[in-house]
Chain A
């Protein structure tokens, strides 16, 4: 610590790894916040791994109702050949939950990528150019944003697929329905940032140098306006799962023979509850809850850590949290030890 400052000069910024969104947040976090972030990351990790390795994990296909030993029994309680039981149609609940993760992730990725792409472009153009175009887009975005998102998604689902469809057709339809809901959110965030950045001196200097509007938008403003995107991404991913499940629950999702979808399974499970059959609903439901919980915990933690008013500080944690939160104090102590 007392060595010559000149010889031991270090880049004031952390390494590129330390500056990655989630990693930097992890390093900033203490105590409870770190616990929430880690829980979220673990749950999200399990979700991702399940989705990627679904073919290896699932003992049966999502629409399989028989194997070499004959047809699956209907509504069999958990245990034996069927870990989490079977549905009234003879599907294996465990396999459908595992395959459902794959469907969910495909929809999320397509939906979020599409809405970021469209929302960011519209937001940049609207905020930068301004004028009547800006006003019209804002009014439209506000109208869509104010409306119940599930209803927007339902209307889109009817338009695109007439209600139900094949695997990719269904995934694209669900993704587009969700995209329409999300575009206004990205649009608002990016537009507000663009308007703020437009007045900054570096944009002015770029204009003076002779940069084109497209270049200013795509290089100077875009890179500065997208700081908040990781946060919106995680929060929207969880909302996308809920919207997809809602669509499936109402019967506007993907056909059960084309893909496994948690919301659809829950709809079918509703009729089982009155006869006390719990396993057809509880497992897909828990899958939704845990996945959304994981993504939300990650998003929430990033949000809190970005906001200095909400961020618990390492020093403050040692002094303030004190006696009745040993976790906070220990985390602070450990971070002191590891940094020295």
Chain B
């Protein structure tokens, strides 16, 4: 019976070598083409952002206009080369990007790459936490909803899923803050950690920047508790947004596979309902789930901007809002390019994983 249960995945793996031989490297070719497609995606986004930002004028006037006398402004623009033809600037910018030079921020005069590394780890931590919440909440509840389809639990869970989607993160964040921080006083209102533990963690040797990893590595349990207490509310706010989408996705796809003959066959052999839902029906339903999960990374990153502003979580999103207010377009462009790369690479990974699981995806 166990071989039957495992049948679909092993079958897929078994197809790989034979298909490779007949089609002249089906999977290898697919990965290569898919990999090459990353670059036009990034290029298009970089190009769009570059020209859109420049339509409004040069970055220096945008950031400092009105605060400096016109002569000084013109001097600075010439020094930075913003008075040259825009196409020259564009190709220069592309050349710099390839060598990893993102320029220097205008408002606080930092290397953009250094700024990205510092705040990127904070955003990474938030996104990982939120993804964990989303998976832990969304997938089991989705299975329950599919199993109890059209009954009371399903109705409640579907409403819950839609509410998760309908509530903007800054509103759920505000409600969480009111309830758990202000009224109950259980959790801190904002930030990533207390100043004391933040100092301890950033003074570590070669910190990862992900506070709970750093706290565990240094064995600092007090700091770990503090960091986790700060992480709960932002992770919940951002995670629930995505949990609703996962719940619906798992529900729809598991309902689809639950109706298949092999599930009925399993049931007639006496396989438990729990095993039918969590193994037989769930595994084949994974492919669409993984594909959509890739797209959810973009949603999570967009939501991170709002979550970080709500909880003063000093990550890329928080900085983005700050730099936007300061009209620091060099910094904004750097953040947008980094996010574009992340989105393009995750989509690539997701497509490859989907192709490895299901040979039909390759074309």
Chain A interface (Cβ < 8 Å from any Cβ of B): 31-32, 36, 139-140, 142-144, 146-151, 154-156, 158-159, 162-163, 238, 242, 245-246, 249-252, 263, 266-267, 269-270, 273-274, 276, 278, 281-282, 285, 288-289, 292-293, 296-297, 300, 309-310, 312, 320-321, 324-325, 328
Contact = CB atoms under 8 A, between A and B. Distances in A.
Contacts of B175: 282, 285
Interface stretch (B6-14, B52-60, B107-115): B52-60
Contacts of A156: 52
B174 A266 contact: yes
A100 B37 CA distance: 42
Contacts of B264: none
B187 to A, nearest CB: 13
Interface in B301-336: 301-303, 305-306, 309-310, 320-321, 324-325, 327, 336
22 contacts: A142-B41, A148-B298, A149-B302, A150-B306, A154-B320, A155-B49, A155-B53, A156-B52, A158-B53, A158-B56, A162-B56, A249-B168, A249-B306, A273-B177, A273-B182, A274-B177, A274-B181, A274-B182, A281-B174, A285-B171, A293-B162, A312-B150
B255 interface: yes
Contacts, number: 159
Contact of B52 (A155, A273, A310): A155
B170 A266 contact: yes
Contacts of A288: 166-168, 171
Nearest to A307: B252
Contacts of A320: 150
B249 to A, nearest CB: 13
Contact of B162 (A285, A300, A312, A325): A300
Given A159-B52, A289-B163, A293-B166, A148 B306 contact: no
B45 interface: yes
B23 to A, nearest CB: 23
Contacts of A297: 162
Interface string B192-209: 000000000000000000
A263 B170 CA distance: 9
A288 B52 CA distance: 30
B183 interface: yes
Given A148-B343, A150-B305, A246-B306, A266 B171 contact: yes
Q: Which 7 A-B pairs have the closest CB atoms?
A: A148-B302, A285-B171, A292-B166, A150-B302, A143-B44, A293-B166, A143-B41
A148 to B, nearest CB: 3
B295 interface: yes
B189 A274 contact: yes
